[in-house]
Chain A
Amino acid sequence: MKLTNEFEVAVPIERTWETLLDVPRVARALPGATIEPEGEGGAWRGTMKVRLGPVTTEYAGTARIQDADEDDRVASYRVEGRELRGQGSAAATITTRLAGADGATRVVVETDMQVTGRQAQLGRGLMEQLAGAILDDFAARLEQELRGVAAPADAGGGALDVGAAVRGPLIERAALVGVGVLAGLALGRLVWRR
């Protein structure tokens, strides 16, 4: 699953570049993520919680800078995690490309993500929307981080609640399930009364 986000910050390209090579700062922009104070051998351990409706999935894993090309201002990160409880996993290669102009920086974030396990089978479209919501939030928070505005504290017990972003399709599904339950109850009652 490949996703692209773009934004511009009024920060010079050099400062943006330095910030992007600071893994804890980038991780801070990742919603629902916590990171251990120091990484070992270039790999930073951390966790990330994602909440979708009543289901919270917590991933534990590592983040590392995979490649940093100072000349072209292209950096890529590898993030790998697996569910703390469950068999699923998530892995992403996040590539950021910077372009400077008049003291501002244009940031293009390309994410190539693989999700396995139950989260991968949420259904057609839902996973993409979930990932899109995470990355939209990540880009927005990264932008704030670059501007020097501290990212807001996580709501919902430190978990990213993506329910709002995917509410449309979820409500549709919930409505279908609701109708099914009602029909089931009605039928159950009919049978019960016999």
Chain B
Amino acid sequence: MGAGAGVRAAKLVGAPVVRREDERILRGRARYLDDIELPRQAHAAFVRSVHAHARLTAVRAPETAEGLVAVFTADELGERVRPFPVQAPDGATVADAGHPVLAGEEVRYAGQPIALVLAESRALAEDAAELVEVDYEPLDPVVDPRRAGERLLEWSRSSGDVEGAFARSARVVRGRYALPRLVAAPIETRGAIAAHDPGTDRLTVWCSAQDPHRPLAQLSHILGRADDTIRVVVPEVGGAFGSKGVVGAEVPAIAVAAIDLGRPVKWAEDRLENFQAAYQGRGMDGDVELALDREGRILAVRARLLADLGAYLYSTTAIPPHTAAMLMCGVYDIAAAEVELVGARTNKVPTGPYRGAGRPEAAYFLERAVDDAARALGADPVALRRVNLVRSFPHDTPLGWTYDSGDYERCLDVALELSAGAPPPSGSGLRGTGVGMYVERAGGMWESAEATVEPSGRVVIRSSSSPHGQGHETTFAQIAADRLGVPIGDVVLRFGDSDVVPRGVGTFASRSTAMGGSAIVLALDRVIARARALAAHLLGADVDTVVWEDGHFTARGGGTLSLGDVAAAAYQPERLPAGTDVGLHASARFRSPLIFSSGAYAATVEIDPDTGILRVLHVAGVDDGGTIVNPLLAHGQVLGGIAQGLGECLVEEAVHDEAGQLRTASFADYSLLTAAEMPALAIGDVQTPSPYNPLGAKGLGEGGAIGSLPALANAVADALGGRHVDPPYSAEKLWLASREAAER
């Protein structure tokens, strides 16, 4: 039994309940994709392009190989698959360049799948894949997005008198800021198993994914199959960070193979494939101009963003750059804005959402520009921010989003208070401090839930929101236990199986608590309304006189029934009023406009001028994710996010050479932070409830990864006397920059 079981109602939301799911995960009892073994399953390996750009002139499969089952190329798949569907953000033009399932006549990135090889084991499939002969005619690759001839995405928006603002401004500050591509690097790499039942023509796909219904919709489009002929089951998932919101091109390929062969097919990729072929994150440059008046008020912002989108569009490739563009006013009350976004086609694996997904980019571009402006004006960067903060809500930005709630200055104040805990200067290093603020788009669209009170009184909730490390099983149970006045141990959550959970949107963009949690609240309120009517009937009282409190229905005239009593009666037709459905359950769909979390971060760093080595001494992070359901898990999310933000600043970079080859295709070359590099952290929160949902929740799954980046970047620039350096902050870059700073 998980900790927290037995804790009574009305105390759980806001309590630091430990994760109920951890016991099975830590004991090795969680079941991940590769733990699933189906009878007669064949194993998949992919032949992947070794060139970043080439024409394919021939693909020859071996006649025989040990354990070889079959080889599929684009020819074998034929008309049975279509390229990936592509989401076009509001107002954007996107190219007709959906990722193909297997490469046909051309390959556009090293790692692109060309042929699917099936054998009796993964090892045999890999051996057989080596025997496939591919003839290439190499073509010149485009590696630098600035030299790309083709655009996959265009978007622009201008609002307010931008030209006039620049004309009358006292000072214009310009800067160019760039973030490299990153890999999401989840502990569990991607994978799927496809099985087909020819009798019912039902395709079942177990998939390491963020949620079931987006993969289902993607497969339905690509395979041209009706939704109801596909079932997607998401088992335990070992991390995604955005990288499992769209199935890989490999998944529809194994689905066709499973149908053709009449055997289940498993694809569980190795780490090299994950580096080469899972979509990467970031890879964006921003040219930012701020027009300021004498008092330091930002009159207008103008920005040109360039995203290195890669070779094709996966379904969500266009979303992060659009989010970055829309957030280019940040936490500031700026009357005029003009933003232009270009997504360049390069010969690299496509990009897609990675923790923050456009928000860290926007915060980095804008917050670096604000610090550069403060330096140019000789102003204190914190004071300059205070002059410009949004202070009343709802706030309409000139770019077209409405911030629902927040207290940006309070976040800033708390972050500054917490940063007082930074260790004193060592005396020898170049010390720098920096703050970074952000606003995060969260929520939006809809989510669903179904709640059933079983005759035993236990509560089963089926949620379309789906966990992959966030702790839904705990936070959602807290919400439900509070609402129903039952012990948390009596609340059971069901996730991930499209045959079991109601259709929904999914888990991304820090939206689970606000959207999935609120759908549960609505469903439970309907359950309570039905139970109240039934309780009134059972108690012989008028429904308006029955009070619901602490898990019990009490009639004014006397008599009390627990929810469990009512549930038990609900399954006995003879005890029900005429015309009432048997059972006690309800479903709900919750819709909401976008909601906006926010935060302020402060970082303290020291650079060793002799070696260029950066030491992060202290990070203070303050997030306003609205009402917090579980501070323990919320802080865990923030801490993990900060670790990823620090990794981005210190060591992470996906490097492609001039031929388009990924030179960082293993953890020997692509570093992740370890506990040894983690600085002292101080995490705080400000809770301004969102008015748009019954919980008042907003979301903070990404805040740590968003806010830590600009704070650290500003601290590094401060240590270097204002010199701008883009991450990752290698010793070499910082040593050169510190020498230049010293020479000035």
Contacts and interface: CB of A to CB of B under 8 A. Distances in A.
Contact of B668 (A86, A114, A176): A176
A82 to B, nearest CB: 9
B668 A88 contact: no
A87 B132 CA distance: 8
Contacts of B669: 123-124
B110 interface: yes
Contacts of B663: 120-121, 123-124, 127
B701 to A, nearest CB: 29
A1 B661 CA distance: 11
Interface string A53-88: 000000000000000000000000000000001111
A88 B659 CA distance: 14
B126 to A, nearest CB: 10
Contacts of A127: 663
Given A85-B131, A86-B130, A87-B130, A120 B50 contact: yes
A100 B272 CA distance: 49
Contacts of A1: 657
The B contact surface, by secondary structure, is loop
A173 B110 contact: no
Nearest to B48: A87
Contacts of A118: 272
Nearest to B275: A121
Contacts, number: 49
A123 B666 CA distance: 8
A184 interface: no
A117 interface: yes
A17 B669 CA distance: 43
Contacts of A116: 50-51, 110, 659, 661
Nearest to A180: B667
B664 interface: yes
A124 B655 contact: yes
Nearest to A120: B661
B130 A85 contact: yes
Interface string B131-166: 110101010000000000000000000000000000
B130 A121 contact: no
Contacts of B138: 114
B50 A89 contact: yes
A124 B664 contact: yes
* Chain B contact patch, size range: 20 to 34
B662 interface: yes
Interface in B550-581: none
Interface in B261-293: 272, 276
A53 B131 CA distance: 23
A87 B664 contact: no
Nearest to A89: B50
Contacts of B131: 85
Interface in A110-156: 114-118, 120-121, 123-124, 127
Nearest to B658: A1
Contacts of A114: 138, 659
A87 B134 contact: yes
Interface string B19-54: 000000000000000000000000000011011000
Interface residues of A, number: 18
B665 interface: yes
Contacts of B132: 87
Given A85-B130, A85-B131, A123 B668 contact: yes
* Listed residue (B129, B276, B662, B668) with the most chain A CB atoms within 10 angstroms of its CB: B668
A176 B674 CA distance: 14
B668 A173 contact: yes
A127 B668 CA distance: 14
B659 A121 contact: no
B396 to A, nearest CB: 47
A87 B668 contact: no
Interface string B642-682: 00000000000001010101111110110000000000000
B578 to A, nearest CB: 60
Contacts of B272: 118, 121
Contacts of A117: 50
A106 B51 CA distance: 36
Contacts of B129: 87
B51 A121 contact: no
A176 B668 CA distance: 9
Contacts of B130: 85-87
A44 B132 CA distance: 24
A127 B663 CA distance: 9
A165 B672 CA distance: 28
A85 B65 CA distance: 13
Nearest to B659: A114
Central interface residue in B48, B50, B663, by most chain A CB within 10 Å: B50
Contacts of B136: 89
B139 to A, nearest CB: 13
Contacts of A176: 668
Contacts of A86: 130
A86 B50 CA distance: 10
A193 to B, nearest CB: 16
Most buried by B among A1, A115, A121: A121
Nearest to B131: A85
Contacts of B51: 116
A176 B134 CA distance: 36
Contacts of A124: 655, 663-664, 669
Interface string B615-657: 0000000000000000000000000000000000000000101
A69 B507 CA distance: 65
Nearest to B110: A116
Interface in B106-136: 110, 129-132, 134, 136
Nearest to A177: B668
Contacts of B47: 87
A115 B110 CA distance: 12
Contacts of A123: 663-666, 668-669
Residue with the greatest number of chain B CB neighbours at <10 A, chosen from A1, A86, A87: A87
Contacts of B276: 121
Contacts of B655: 124
Interface string B665-707: 1101100000000000000000000000000000000000000
A114 B50 CA distance: 11
A94 to B, nearest CB: 17
A121 B668 contact: no
Contact of B661 (A85, A87, A121, A173): A121
B273 to A, nearest CB: 12
Interface in A154-183: 173, 176
B272 to A, nearest CB: 7
Interface string B462-477: 0000000000000000
A166 to B, nearest CB: 13
Nearest to B669: A123
A86 B126 CA distance: 10
Nearest to B111: A121
Contacts of B657: 1
A73 B110 CA distance: 38
Nearest to A169: B668
A173 B668 CA distance: 8
A6 to B, nearest CB: 24
Contacts of A173: 668
B114 to A, nearest CB: 9
Nearest to B136: A89
Contacts of A120: 50, 110, 659, 661, 663
Interface in B47-100: 47-48, 50-51
A1 B659 CA distance: 9
A121 B665 contact: yes
Interface string B524-567: 00000000000000000000000000000000000000000000
The 3 closest A-B pairs by CB, nearest first: A116-B50, A121-B665, A117-B50
7 contacts: A89-B50, A116-B51, A116-B659, A118-B272, A121-B666, A123-B664, A127-B663
Given A1-B657, A85-B131, 5 more contacts: A85-B130, A116-B110, A120-B663, A121-B662, A124-B669
